[in-house]
Amino acid sequence: MFDRLEQIEARYNELGEMLAQPETQQDREAYQRVAKQHRDLEETVEMYRSWKQTSQALAEARQMLSETDAELRAMAADEISLLEPKLPAIEEALKILLLPKDPNDDKNVIVEIRAGTGGDEASLFAAEVFRMYVRFAEQHRWKVEILSSSESTVGGLKEIIALIEGDRVYSQMKYESGVHRVQRVPATETQGRVHTSAITVAVLPEAEEVDIKIEAKDLRIDTFCSSGPGGQSVNTTYSAIRITHLPTNTVVSCQDEKSQIKNREKAMRVLRSRLYEVEMERQHQALAKERKQQVGTGDRSEKIRTYNFPQNRLTDHRIGLTLHQLDLIMEGRLQPIVDALIAHGQAEQLKADAVHAA
């Protein structure tokens, strides 16, 4: 581990020197690329330097135990009692920092929320979960853009697809994919009985054109009139777009914009991300066993969470986490759950690495 850390620190120093060179500073793209690599290593290097400083101070304190001066020995003993517990914690943090990074963690995401079992109640819950994610995004200063939506007759959402852009969005949102179950008394229920409904959430890393290449010959593009609330543009212009990727029979439609060009751009972003997800799944088949050991499989058919409103309780079934703060969570305070899921995933990776090493 420490040989690798030495290499990382050397690379970090090398990148720092490159950033100071005039030729790098004059090339904007090169500067951004080097700066990102430098920034990606920064946390690991700082933690390693902290380990080296703590180790050196501990070694010096232990040497002082052999001093003839009783006061110096007492000071050394106090120093050792403070420093010794720090080293294991720093070493654990370093192990986590050295885990393989998910290459998609830095990406923006496309979130797809669809009402499932439960009819109108499911559509209302879909709207509330989308609002929860918007609040969570606001806390991180991420930007949310709706790409496509379909409202229900009671003001809920049958389906909504949105792009969330910002710093390391996928790293925070990737564990949200799956079935979200809600238990509560619907507004339409006259007997006061608790009903169970469900929605599905898919979180896809946004794919760039360099990530997935789509051939024009593989696309069928249809235009049609927008449908929805009244207005001059509705049913008068063919601004809505439906794109079919023929090899995979993947269909994406978008009608939220009045401009056909804008609808096509949005639809292509969704299509690229869906095809990228398919490609990732194909590549990960060989690692299926390892992925099972982590936080679920990301399979959208898997029930991941229950929201129980009468008891103000949220339970994440993958890690056995229960919080009686559902009212706060629905306001976007998801961070404790996200942090717990990330920590669990890291712990499982460490276990898998230990098994492989043995």
The total number of structural domains in the chain stands at 3
Q: 5-9, 130-134, 278-282, 333-337: which has the minimum mean pLDDT?
A: 278-282
Q: What is the CATH number of the domain that holds 301?
A: 3.30.70.1660
Identify the pLDDT of residue 289: 47
Q: In terms of domains, do 297 and 190 share one?
A: yes
Domain-embedded: residue 37 = yes
Residues for the chain: how many in total?
358
* pLDDT average, residue stretch 109-115: 93
pLDDT category at 234 given cuts 50, 70, 90 is very low
Which tens digits make up the pLDDT trace of 253-283? Answer: 888 777 888 888 888 888 988 888 888 777 6
- Domain end position, chosen among 48, 77, 97: 97
Q: In terms of domains, do 176 and 225 share one?
A: no
Q: In terms of domains, do 220 and 205 share one?
A: no
Q: In terms of domains, do 178 and 271 share one?
A: no
Q: Identify the CA nearest to 277 among candidates 204, 219, 213, 211.
A: 204
- Domain end position, chosen among 254, 282, 310: 282
pLDDT category at 321 given cuts 50, 70, 90 is very high
Q: In terms of domains, do 124 and 168 share one?
A: yes
The parent domain of residue 309 ranges over 109-210+292-350
DSSP letters of 294-324? SS----TTSEEEEEETTTTEEEETTTTEEES
Which tens digits make up the pLDDT trace of 41-76? Answer: 999 999 999 999 999 999 999 998 888 888 888 999
Q: In terms of domains, do 260 and 126 share one?
A: no
Please state, as a whole number, how many other Cβ atoms lie within 10 Å of the Cβ of residue 213.
9
Decide: pTM greater than 0.95.
Answer: no
